[in-house]
Amino acid sequence: MTQTTGGGLGALGTAMTGSVLVDGDLDYDEARSLWNGEFDRRPAVIARCATASDVALAVDFGRQEGLEITVRGGGHSFSGASACDGGLMIHLGTMNHVAVDPERRRAVVGGGATLADLDAATQAHGLAVTGGVISHTGVGGLTLGGGMGWLVQEHGLSIDNLESAEVVLADGRCVRASADEHPDLFWALRGGGGNFGVVTSFEFRLHPVGPEVHLAFLFWDQDRGVEALRACRDAIPSLPERTGLLIAAALSAPDAPFVPEEYHFMPGHALIVVGFGSAEEHAAAIAPVREVCPPLFELVTPIPYTGLQQMLDDAAPWGIRSYDKCIYLEELTDEAIDVIVGRAPDKASPMSFMPIFRLDGAFERVGEDDTAFGGRRVAQYMVDLTGVSEDEELFRTDRGWVRSTWDALRPLAGSAAGYLNLNSEPDDDRVRAAYGSAKYERLARIKAEYDPGNLFHHNANIKPT
């Protein structure tokens, strides 16, 4: 354990099972690092917690010392919410255990686990739960905001598969939230973000998936963007529910072995279709798109589910600068496609693109008010506009590209709401728009019960009534 001195800090270091770090300690810089390289923040104290009791001690210390408190699970927040200058970072990285009960199809997952940790443990039994599409994403932050991934059509969001959660509250108590215990808190955790406490473990329902699935990656050059995106849109209603889908608009072709060398980094658009059924079912699913608009090149292959979950990791490497805004569109209209395709050539970085997720199937079968998810439970598209670059100048340019493209799409959406997990600037107006007035007010009442002083406010914040 790091040796600390001075009052409360020394007492915290002595009492915790984990370690306490301050600036100058050997592991301090690694512990404070975030996925989004746009943020370089220096907490006064980092509490690397090993147990829920450690978390409770850290929360009490931060509250008594009047420190700003942030919570770092995977450190993957787009807005850099996992760290602040001069405050206390509650670091859950060593709490990355995953215990799987294959008979009951349940997994208990530590608050610091990543999707890679979760997938490795569950796939050992041919099981999975909806997660994201980047394997080093933290399970905690992803889940508390909703949790989208390849399985959303078949099994819904991550929160739709959550059975219970262990939570350390603002007053230091550790409680279990479920349908039977603290049901109001359990409702709020399923979509309300990190506003209500520090979740130290999650219990998920699991589903048979893999270990091998079917992948299709179809790519079109930029000049055929309108034709390609319309073909993708028109084919989506006939896709089987056992299908994962991502339209990767404004994507530069990767320099992967399956891509002909002359097309490396070529700007264009792609469709990724994942089949969780048979190879024949998958082939039938992609056939209409191929026939209507033959791709420039393609890859159709079996792939391990864990490989699928890691496939896009190179598109979001650790330390990259990233800026995101997103918006829900009930329809991918011709007008919306014209905006997306028309804005694509204006990006500066080859890493920037516009992933478009289709939300339907199991996603829309969950009641609008059954969870606190910040979005309507109707069939729709979630358009994520992401500016990504290692180069600071290209990043600044593409941050403007993201903002102007969002402005161009805004009149085509019902509201300014977007998926809060993919928002680099979750200001008050956008947070309220995401939840809607009735759901926001319910969340604010629950916030007032469990965190009346708004101790946990480094997030897409819901202010207590």
The single residue listed with the structure tokens 């694509």 is 344
On whether the CB atoms of residues 132 and 155 are closer than 8 A, the answer is: no
Structure confidence at residue 8 (pLDDT): 82
Count of other CB atoms within 10 angstroms of residue 347: 25
* Residue 440, pLDDT above cutoff 50: yes
Residue type, 397: T
Q: Considering the entire predicted model, what is its pTM? A: 0.95
Residues 260 and 264: their CA atoms lie apart, in Å, by: 7
Q: Let me know if domain 98-209 sits in CATH 3.50.50.60.
A: no
Residues in the chain: 465
* Residue 1, pLDDT above cutoff 60: no
CA neighbours closer than 13 Å in the CB half-sphere of residue 234: 14
3-state SS of 364-400? HHCCCCCCCCCCCCCCEEEEEEEEEECCHHHHHHHHH
Structure confidence at residue 4 (pLDDT): 39
DSSP category for residue 362: G
Query: What are the structure tokens assigned to 124, written together?
Result: 């050992």
pLDDT in tens, 130-145: 999 999 999 999 999 9
Q: Domain 212-422: which CATH class? A: alpha beta
DSSP category for residue 135: T
- What average pLDDT does range 49-66 have in this prediction? 97
Architecture category of domain 14-91 in CATH? 2-Layer Sandwich (3.30)
CA neighbours closer than 13 Å in the CB half-sphere of residue 429: 2
Pairing of strands 69-72, 88-91: parallel
- What average pLDDT does range 22-26 have in this prediction? 95
DSSP category for residue 319: T
Q: How confident is the model at residue 7 (pLDDT cuts 50, 70, 90)?
A: low
Burial (CB < 10 A; 0-12, 13-18, 19+), residue 7, is exposed
Residues 444 and 465: their CA atoms lie apart, in Å, by: 5
- What average pLDDT does range 329-354 have in this prediction? 97
For the chain, the domains span: 14-91, 98-209, 212-422
Residues 347 and 420: their CA atoms lie apart, in Å, by: 23
Structure confidence at residue 66 (pLDDT): 95
As a whole-number percent, the residues of the chain with pLDDT over 90 amount to 94
Query: What are the structure tokens assigned to 25, written together?
Result: 């300690």
Q: CA 73 → CA 1, 96, 110, 141, 428, distances in Å?
A: 20, 9, 9, 7, 23
Q: How confident is the model at residue 241 (pLDDT cuts 50, 70, 90)?
A: confident
Q: How confident is the model at residue 382 (pLDDT cuts 50, 70, 90)?
A: very high
Structure confidence at residue 457 (pLDDT): 96
Q: CA 420 → CA 18, 183, 373, 459, distances in Å?
A: 31, 23, 10, 10
End-to-end CA distance of the chain: 40
Residues 97 and 78: their CA atoms lie apart, in Å, by: 24
Residues 169 and 422: their CA atoms lie apart, in Å, by: 25
Beta strands in 94-192 (DSSP E): 98-101, 106-110, 127-128, 162-168, 174-178
DSSP category for residue 195: G
Stretch among 1-5, 324-328, 448-452 having the lowest mean pLDDT: 1-5
> What does the angle CA 131 – CA 459 – CA 37 come to, to the nearest 5 degrees?
75
Burial (CB < 10 A; 0-12, 13-18, 19+), residue 232, is buried
Q: How confident is the model at residue 2 (pLDDT cuts 50, 70, 90)?
A: very low
* Residue 5, pLDDT above cutoff 60: no
